[in-house]
Structure 1
Amino acid sequence: MDVELRHFRALVAIAAEGTITGAAARLRMTQPALSRTLRQLEQRVGAHLVERSTRHLRLTPAGEVFHGRAVTILAAVDEALAEAAASPRPLRLGYVWAALGEHTTPLLRAWRAAYPQVPLHVHRIDDRTAGLTRGDVDVAVLRTVPDDERLHVEVLYHERRHAVLPAGHPLADRSELDLADLRHETIGLVETETATTSPDLWPAEVRPQAFVETNNVDEWLTLIAAGGAVGVTPAGTAHTHTHPGVRFVPLTGVAPVPVYLVWPRRLSHRRTPDVVDLARRVVAAGTR
């Protein structure tokens, strides 16, 4: 039996979802059918690719190697099909919640002017690599460093942190604040793998006593707008998530947040180096 594209897609889906149930739903197939497909692949390869000792599946070392190849192969097939149809496959840029902040629109416009034949699609995907390790995007903007040797990570620029306050808050009209100004406030946190704010951001002597957790940036903004908390976030949030009920005030005396551009060492799109180069130039022009 030869290895088919369905075998590659099965392994990539399992790696992305971590369970047979989730992967089967992602591929719109039954769980028994997916399990059979995985067994067929392992028999053909002659190695175990998925560790089944826990309820949450994970790739074996051989599976990690095969997964990297599978993502590259599937991307190449998609690109070949698009080219055969005289329509280049879009280059996909993923982000978790803030993209490139003020540089996002300039990058998209510059790309359209320089490469009108290749669409650049932007996707918000709420996982630690914005869909990169799942093969859903070709390059990602992140504000936390992924621990994955298959990825190339570059610091593109640094963003100032802002306090996020309900409109009408006594501090909302200040031109600047520092962390000590927030010591008596309830702090809203976004509890995800990509969060850039935690209680440890504050020195112990001015650390607030009350923190409340939310599941995503939308819940977090709603909580703040309703007066239930204040927050701290990189400046890019203000550009990507405008909200009439909150005010963003720059913070002083706290380290800025690195903004990373991340892409696979095995490129999934041949235009990835072009968007990386263009992003560097757009950011450099915007920060002069």
Structure 2
Amino acid sequence: MELRHLRYFVAVAERGGFTAAAEHLHTAQPSLSRQIRDLEAYVGTALFERSSRHVELTKAGHVFLDEARLTLAQAGRSVERARQAALDHSGRLTLGFVFGVEAEQLMRVMSTLHGELRHMQLILHTQSSPMLITELLERQIDVAFIRPSSHTQGLNVRTLRSEKLIAAVPADHALAKQTTIRLTQLAAEPMIGVPREQAPVLYDAIQEYADRYGVALQPVYHSETLMMALSLITSVGGVCLLPEHSALIFPKGVVAVPLVEETPLLELALAWHPENRSSALAAFINAFLGKEPQS
């Protein structure tokens, strides 16, 4: 049995007949029928029920279809990984940033790429942390700055720092003049929330914080990115709870004010797939973590 037998079988199953499958595969129908008969002989059972008008999967055929699709998908991934490995000599690295972190970490990343790494081809990608984790697990990117969660199981994760929550308020707001803010003071303010599907770690930290001190925070606006949140703060006068390091890129119209109550800590980490054998990845990880200060 060869991969072409599986491709032919899947084509017939998905297109509901030999004629349509033959046209899709650009092959002759008699040849396709012969290949399927050879496959059934190899498996030892009928995979299709044939009639003059219809071709339907048998019970065994349904099971075989699921496995065939998995095998073809795995074969495709193997080819892609081999091609990616062939690019290692060029020093290609795909690096992901969780929203809002690229501005503060990019300079560090670029300062890492010196000496033997100065010719590395760097591809930058900004996305939500959940999406970055999925892309790392599926080997679509090499390494990423993420917010660790239970979904990072299976990845190498190195925590870079832990940070508190701060209140981001308009510079002309009365709260901006205070040295600290109590959580209860935010209850009456137009809050800017974050969707859980985009930033689950930040969302859960804010919920835990509010629940711990019995304060009901009702978001009036929702922002999918840090830039959108900062824009809402300056344009509509909203208030937002954000990781404290995000203040490094606040515009002049936004002020970060510490919170009185102890807040949950948010981690920022560098993550990569343990089976990624890219020499470019290994060189970057060693150089970056070797110069990363302890937090």
**TM class, shorter-chain normalised?**
0.5 to 0.7
Q: Which amino acid aligns with 1:74?
A: E
Aligned in 2, Cα 1:171/1:132: closer, same or farther, shift over 3 Å? same
Say whether residues 1:92 and 2:94 are aligned partners: yes
Task: Report the secondary structure of 2:161's partner residue.
Answer: strand
**Alpha-carbon distance in 1 for matches of 2:169, 2:150:** 30
**Alpha-carbon distance in 2 for matches of 1:69, 1:251:** 53
What is the aligned partner in structure 1 of residue 125 from structure 2? 123
* Counterparts of residues 28-177 of structure 1 (less than 5 Å): 71=77, 73-81=79-87, 83=89, 88-99=90-101, 102-113=104-115, 115-126=117-128, 128-130=130-132, 131-177=135-181
Say whether residues 1:220 and 2:229 are aligned partners: yes
Deviation (angstroms), 1:146: 4.9
Q: Which amino acid aligns with 2:118?
A: P
* TM superposition score normalised by structure 2: 0.63
**Alpha-carbon distance in 2 for matches of 1:139, 1:165:** 33
**Alpha-carbon distance in 2 for matches of 1:113, 1:174:** 47
**Alpha-carbon distance in 2 for matches of 1:95, 1:65:** 32
- 1:157-207: CA deviations, max 9, x gaps? 212322111121111233443434423323211203424034332145441
Aligned in 2, Cα 1:68/1:115: closer, same or farther, shift over 3 Å? farther
8 Å contact 1:143–1:259 — kept in the other structure?
A: yes
Say whether residues 1:249 and 2:257 are aligned partners: yes
The structure with the largest helix share of the pair is 2
Aligned in 2, Cα 1:223/1:63: closer, same or farther, shift over 3 Å? farther
Say whether residues 1:194 and 2:199 are aligned partners: yes
Aligned in 2, Cα 1:63/1:246: closer, same or farther, shift over 3 Å? farther
**Alpha-carbon distance in 2 for matches of 1:242, 1:175:** 17
What is the aligned partner in structure 2 of residue 29 from structure 1? none
What is the aligned partner in structure 1 of residue 14 from structure 2? none
Q: Which amino acid aligns with 2:244?
A: A
Task: Please say which structure displays the higher CA radius of gyration.
Answer: 2
Task: Report the secondary structure of 1:77's partner residue.
Answer: helix
Deviation (angstroms), 1:66: 8.0
8 Å contact 2:186–2:217 — kept in the other structure?
A: no
What is the aligned partner in structure 2 of residue 51 from structure 1? none
8 Å contact 2:192–2:223 — kept in the other structure?
A: no
8 Å contact 1:165–1:248 — kept in the other structure?
A: yes
CA RMSD of aligned residues (A): 3.7
What is the aligned partner in structure 2 of residue 23 from structure 1? none
Unaligned segments of structure 2, at least 5 residues: 8-19, 26-38, 44-65
Unaligned segments of structure 1, at least 5 residues: 8-31, 38-42, 47-59
**Alpha-carbon distance in 1 for matches of 2:255, 2:73:** 44
Deviation (angstroms), 1:128: 0.8
Deviation (angstroms), 1:65: 9.2
